[in-house]
Amino acid sequence: MSSDGTSPKVLKLPEVLDLNAASRLHEQVLAHKGEDIDIDASDVNRVGAQCIQVLLAAAKSWRAEDQHFKVEPASEVFVKTLQLLGISDEALLPKEMLK
Amino acid sequence: MDMNEIKEIFFQECEEQLAELESGLLRLNDGDTDPETVNAVFRAVHSIKGGAGAFGLDDLVSFAHVFETTLDCVRSNKLEASQDLLKVMLRSADVLADLTAASRDGGTVESSRTSGLVAELEAYAKGQPLPSASAAPAPAPAAAAPEPAQAETPAPAAEAPEPTDDSGFQPVPFSFDALDGDDDLAIEDGRSVFTVRFKPRSDLYAKGNESVLILRELAKLGDLQVRCEADDLPSIDMLDPEGAYFSWLIRVETDQDEEAVRHVFEFVEWDSTVEITAGADEEAFAAPDAQGGDQPMAAVPFDLSLLEDVPAVSAEAAAPEAPAPAAAAPAAAGDESMAPPNLPLAAKAIAAEAEKKETVVPAVPAAPQTIRVDLDRVDRLINLVGELVINQAMLAQSVVENESGGSSAVNLGLEELQQLTREIQDSVMAIRAQPVKPVFQRMGRIVREIADMTAKQVRLVTEGENTEVDKTVIDKIAEPLTHMIRNAVDHGLETPEKRTEAGKNAEGVLRLSAKHRSGRIVIEIADDGAGINRERVKAKAIENGLITADANLSDEDIDNLIFHPGFSTADKISDISGRGVGMDVVKRSIQALGGRISITSKPGKGSVFTMSLPLTLAVLDGMVVTVANQTLVVPLTAIVETLQPEKSDIHSFGPSQRLIAIRDTFCPLVDVGNILNFRSDLANPVDGVALLVESEGGGQRALMVDAIQGQRQVVIKSLEANYTNVPGIAAATILGDGRVALILDVDAVVTASRGQPLSPDMMLAATG
């Protein structure tokens, strides 16, 4: 949990998170390592499996270190893609959004 | 990169795949049993099918599909690669090439050819070769495999996955039920359930494919239940963002068959592990925790309606009907088409990532040391170099004109420039030079085909396959060569019985050779057949009114009759000779390339067709001469020697013929100015220069010109393309002073000097 009580940093995802965006997303996420973070996926209108991998790995790692990591808000495309990929990890999205 | 460019790349790749396919089949034919050869052949057909699917080339796809299915049986050892099967496959490769060409250039392939082969291939795939295919027994030692596939009961859901073979390929069980239209996998309302295990490798992404798109395609087939297995996902620090960690277990409920499900994965089959089993694997879905993963992932039922507002990821790259993942498949260009225009990534970063990909993923084969360059670009370069050559010549000329004597520094510089220009030109030409091997390879199949059709035994021997020649020349010789090969087998070689009677080996030998000779490429097609039946040729020519009955023709003249338009000695129109292409067309297409063709024949021993072609169609070394105040260029390769005639050397012969004595022989003297109608009266030989030339038809002539200006490399500018064909003139060029000079067609002039008129369609009757 965030110890200093400040609100989590927000990482706003770009519209396009395709194959070419995975490395950059990875760098961006890593840059926030150790911080509480909110991922804003509201603009995403295209997302590929590799970027989801990055986000899910980040979610797991953040959770393992007991830090705040939440994807919110998320665009419909983002949610639908997670559903299509069969990803029901609450670490990424609240369960009710995935059902 | 627009769709047409991607398509163009696809067709280029098709050519490579077709070559790969053929050489693989030939290796198998020669007894190669390496499974990798079969795999290579399969991959070639598969890639063509894949790309063709993306472009909606349905004819190509459906034929390639049947071909691939049969190859798959060979690959999975269900079918033996017998000689008979390979014959069918070689013919199929031929049809595949034709279908590809038809897709590229428009046009069609006779449906009887495709449907016949489809039937034969399908019969083999079912383990029941058509009796017409061969008299050989059914080559299906592993026949146990295809037959039980007709099973009445659905395959059990928990069936063990097929073992992976050495090469790492996952043989996908092919249900013959699908072909028969059986529908015994139905669970309700004619719907079937399949369980798909899909594990992409990082190559899949590296090649621009996307699992999301694959799953979307799958969702279009019916209802999905998808479970993502992410146990392999490392912590964020250890993660390779370009890696592939997810795999999926998917339950598909669809009214389509297994083939349709498999079809979704066909573009990623090489870069992922795909297992498709009929029936549901309820256990796997029911027990998500059984895997021991700390992230229990419930199967999420997926409904296609959810997809409707998802923007098509590859909309800008793919035709709407084309399966989206396919669009990325045919070319590496897929990466590019997927990249959004506003992606905030520097080109450098992309390049760096690409490099990283190479190192991280050792499975990616090292890039070959070649680059693919658009032919247009090379042509533009060649044109520019041509202009450079002209410009350099102009510069040299003005130096000569403006400087009396010329300073040695300028002259030295000019000389160096000339040398450099020459080197640049040679290097540029070398880019276009390619070995004739692919064309020769194709001939092997044609020989086999014709031999089968005519029940002759033929062995093709090729020599000098690595002889290089300009790509344009290669592209254009394939057709005349094919026809000549057909002709040689059909008309040249005798049947085995006749050969045995004549005391020859029953198997005829066809020798196809290429070599460089004095700046040209010479291709010979020699058969050891019966030789030209001159009696029959002459009779036929008289019958067709080509010559008069009392015409007195030399053997060479008779042999050359076969090049006359419309001439055919075939008494009946056969499949081979009935294609409406005669030797006259062959001759014309060779001539259009600046080439010559000649024939020598010995009764009982066989015939030799000799084609001589320029190595390039862009430049030529020429002798610049003056004839009746006109500047002409005579190709240097034709000139044997030049000489200044003495009055005593000139002899009259008949009313208008003149001969020149050169050492021990007499050689007819040809006044170029008179032949080309530059002047009506004959020039005095003593005032001019004689160029001793050798024509392709054999024999020397002395061409009379007024003066020699010098020797120069000239850039060929086609007269046909820019003006029209002029008899006696091969092409034109631009000289250093900017004037246009005509390039002499030596052979045409020599032929005209024999008394035949200078017209494109020389009337043979005139020789009679």
| Domain limits, chain B | 1-149, 151-371, 375-433, 436-614, 619-763
Average pLDDT, chain B: 75
Provide the pLDDT for residue B647. Answer: 86
Give the pLDDT mean for A31-52: 89
Instruction: Return the residue matching tokens 């694997």.
Output: B281
Provide the pLDDT for residue B695. Answer: 66
Record: contact A29-B236, CB cut-off 8 A = yes
Provide the pLDDT for residue B511. Answer: 93
pLDDT at residue B762 tops 80: no
Most confident listed range (B250-254, B366-370, B683-687): B250-254
Burial B381-406 (b: 16+ CB within 10 A, else e): bbeebbebbbebbebbeeeeeeeeee
Domains in chain A with CATH codes: 9-86 (3.30.750.24)
Q: Exposed/middle/buried for B534, CB within 10 Å: 0-12, 13-18, 19+?
A: middle
Task: Report the distance separating Cα B317 and Cα B328, nearest Å.
Answer: 8
Q: Of how many residues is chain B composed?
A: 768
Nearest CA in chain A to B207: A19
pLDDT at residue B92 tops 50: yes
- Which residue, among B239, B302, B303, would best test binding to A if mutated, counting the most A CBs under 10 Å from its CB? B239
Provide the token pair at B613.
């072609």
Give the model's confidence band at B316: pLDDT under 50 very low, under 70 low, under 90 confident, else very high: very low
Break chain B down into helix, strand, coil percent, rounded to 5: 45, 20, 35
Chain A residues close to B195, C-beta within 8 Å: none
The Cβ of residue B49 has, within 10 Å, a number of other Cβ atoms equal to 24
Provide the pLDDT for residue A98. Answer: 53
Task: Report the distance separating Cα B225 and Cα B223, nearest Å.
Answer: 7
Provide the token pair at B562.
């076969």
Chain A residues close to B215, C-beta within 8 Å: 84-85
Give the model's confidence band at B525: pLDDT under 50 very low, under 70 low, under 90 confident, else very high: very high
pLDDT at residue B598 tops 60: yes
Q: Which residue has the higher pLDDT, A12 or B700?
A: A12
Q: Which residue has the higher pLDDT, B157 or B698?
A: B698
3-class SS of residue B199 = strand
Smallest Cα distance from B250 to chain A, Å: 9
Assess contact for B740 and B734: CB atoms under 8 A. Answer: yes
Q: For B8-12, B45-49, B496-500, B761-765, which range has the lowest pLDDT when averaged over its residues?
A: B761-765
Is the backbone of residue A34 left (phi > 0), alpha (psi -120 to 50) or beta? left
Q: Which residue has the higher pLDDT, B656 or B231?
A: B231
Q: Does ipTM exceed 0.95?
A: no
Record: contact B239-A49, CB cut-off 8 A = no
Give the model's confidence band at B317: pLDDT under 50 very low, under 70 low, under 90 confident, else very high: very low
Closest CA to A48 of B200, B94, B110: B200
Q: Which residue has the higher pLDDT, B544 or B764?
A: B544
Domain B436-614: which CATH class?
alpha beta
Smallest Cα distance from A72 to chain B, Å: 19
Give the pLDDT mean for B162-180: 41
B474 touches chain A (CB under 8 A): no
Give the model's confidence band at B755: pLDDT under 50 very low, under 70 low, under 90 confident, else very high: low
Most confident listed range (B11-15, B105-109, B323-327, B499-503): B499-503
B319 touches chain A (CB under 8 A): no
A18 touches chain B (CB under 8 A): yes
Record: contact B307-A84, CB cut-off 8 A = yes
Provide the pLDDT for residue B690. Answer: 92
Give the pLDDT mean for B431-460: 85
Q: Which residue has the higher pLDDT, A89 or B25?
A: B25
Chain B residues close to A58, C-beta within 8 Å: 236
Give the pLDDT mean for B505-511: 90
3-class SS of residue B512 = strand
Assess contact for B195 and B251: CB atoms under 8 A. Answer: yes
Nearest residue, CB atoms, A46 vs list B307, B309, B311: B311
Fold classified for B375-433: Helix Hairpins (1.10.287)
Give the pLDDT mean for A71-92: 83
Identify the CATH number of the domain defined by range B619-763.
2.40.50.180
Provide the pLDDT for residue B325. Answer: 41
The Cβ of residue B748 has, within 10 Å, a number of other Cβ atoms equal to 23
Q: Kindly report, residue by residue over B580-593, the tens digit of the pLDDT.
A: 447 777 887 887 77
Burial B263-285 (b: 16+ CB within 10 A, else e): bbbbbbbbbbbbbbbbbbbeebb
Q: Give the rounded percent of residues in chain B with a pLDDT score beyond 90.
A: 6
Chain B residues close to A81, C-beta within 8 Å: 212, 310
Q: Kindly report, residue by residue over B266-280, the tens digit of the pLDDT.
A: 878 878 888 888 887
Provide the pLDDT for residue B348. Answer: 44
Q: Give the rounded percent of residues in chain B with a pLDDT score beyond 70.
A: 74
Q: What are phi and psi of B689, to 5 degrees?
A: -125, 140
Provide the pLDDT for residue B684. Answer: 84
- Which residue, among A28, A32, A47, A50, would best test binding to B if mutated, counting the most B CBs under 10 Å from its CB? A50
A49 touches chain B (CB under 8 A): yes
pLDDT at residue B434 tops 60: yes
Sequence letter at residue B393: A
Q: Which residue has the higher pLDDT, B31 or B758?
A: B31
Nearest residue, CB atoms, A60 vs list B219, B225, B233: B233
Record: contact A64-B235, CB cut-off 8 A = yes
| Interface contacts (A, B; CB < 8 Å) | 148
pLDDT at residue B519 tops 50: yes
Give the pLDDT mean for B556-578: 62
Identify the CATH number of the domain defined by range B1-149.
1.20.120.160
Closest CA to B127 of B150, B106, B107: B150
